[in-house]
Structure 1
Amino acid sequence: MDETLTALAAGADGPDPLAALRAAAELRRELDRREAVAVRRARVQGVLWTDIAGALGVSKQAVHKKYGGNRLLPGNR
């Protein structure tokens, strides 16, 4: 885990509940961003949506809903 995630995770476990909530929200946003990047990279490399869904532990339909089907493919932005 890099320094950003480590710091956010530590903040989310901190004693101040409001600071912990802010850190947890930022951690969630950062993880969502990184997941989107990984999905995009997988699609560019030709990985099937069903395989991406399996790696994420969700249905193919859930991946399509979250990432918009093939809009992450080059030329489909």
Structure 2
Amino acid sequence: MTTVTELAEATTGEDPVTALAAVAALRRLLEELEAAHVTEARARGASWEAIAAALGVKRQTAHRKHAHRIIDGGR
């Protein structure tokens, strides 16, 4: 398994195709982390407004991106 450090280092390598693959892998990891933290934030009662502010996006954007994964009882 490749570590985050190895992926980050690969983004500055000589081969641009390898660097792009590393960027894509980091992007996938960040998306997974964001989803996990949004799910946890909602489970702990955070509002969509608070989540959106933390992500630097509008409430509608955060909700559109993440609400389909979360069964939140209509919060």
If the TM-score is normalised by the length of the shorter chain, which range does it land in? 0.7 to 0.9
TM-score (norm 1): 0.83
Q: Is the alpha carbon distance of 1:7 and 1:75 closer, same or farther for their aligned partners in structure 2, counting shifts above 3 Å?
A: farther
Alignment partner, residue 6 of structure 1 = 5
Matches within 5 A, 1:1-77: 4-68=3-67, 71-73=69-71
TM-score (norm 2): 0.85
- Deviating 4+ runs (over 4 angstroms): none
Output the aligned Cα RMSD.
Answer: 2.0
Aligned-pair identity (%): 45
Q: Distance in 1 between matches of 2:70 and 2:48?
A: 11
Q: Distance in 1 between matches of 2:19 and 2:45?
A: 39
How much has 1:75 moved relative to structure 2? 6.6
> Structure 1: which amino acid aligns with 2:3?
T
How much has 1:6 moved relative to structure 2? 1.5
Query: What SS is found at the alignment partner of 2:3?
Result: helix
Question: Where do 5+ consecutive residues of structure 2 fail to align?
Answer: none
